[in-house]
Amino acid sequence: MSGHDYDAVNYWKANLRLIFGSLIVWALVSYGFAILLRPMLAGIPIGGTDLGFWFAQQGSILTFIALIFHYAWRMNKLDEKFDVHEE
């Protein structure tokens, strides 16, 4: 990677930022909304129960899918921007 040192450092930092942001959302929907914060969301009714239950059984899974596709899409852009993409 000797020819790309400067870009490489920033590429990796950008990747870490993206991962960090994604994992905050990952933790928020599952450990947050679905478990620890469920009592706070108890006032929001959804189909016979509350929003926390929805996050525990559906919402978190849907969010996980969105997170991975978003990550893959953004990383492809970053790969090209920093010129580290595959031939």
Residues making contact with other proteins (CB under 8 A): 1, 4, 8, 11-12, 15, 19, 22-23, 26, 30-31, 34-36, 38-39, 46-50, 52-54, 56-58, 60-62, 64-65, 67-69, 71-72, 75-76, 79, 83-87
Closest CA to 14 of 58, 71, 85, 86: 71
Tokens of 20: 């960090």
43/47 with CB nearer other proteins? 47
43/86 with CB nearer other proteins? 86
39/43 with CB nearer other proteins? 39
Smallest gap, in angstroms, from Cβ of residue 36 to other proteins? Answer: 6
Q: How far apart are CA 59 and CA 53, in angstroms?
A: 9
Answer for the pair 28, 70: CB distance below 8 angstroms, yes or no. no
Q: How far apart are CA 76 and CA 87, in angstroms?
A: 13
Backbone angles phi, psi at 42, to 5 degrees: -60, -25
Smallest gap, in angstroms, from Cβ of residue 43 to other proteins? Answer: 13
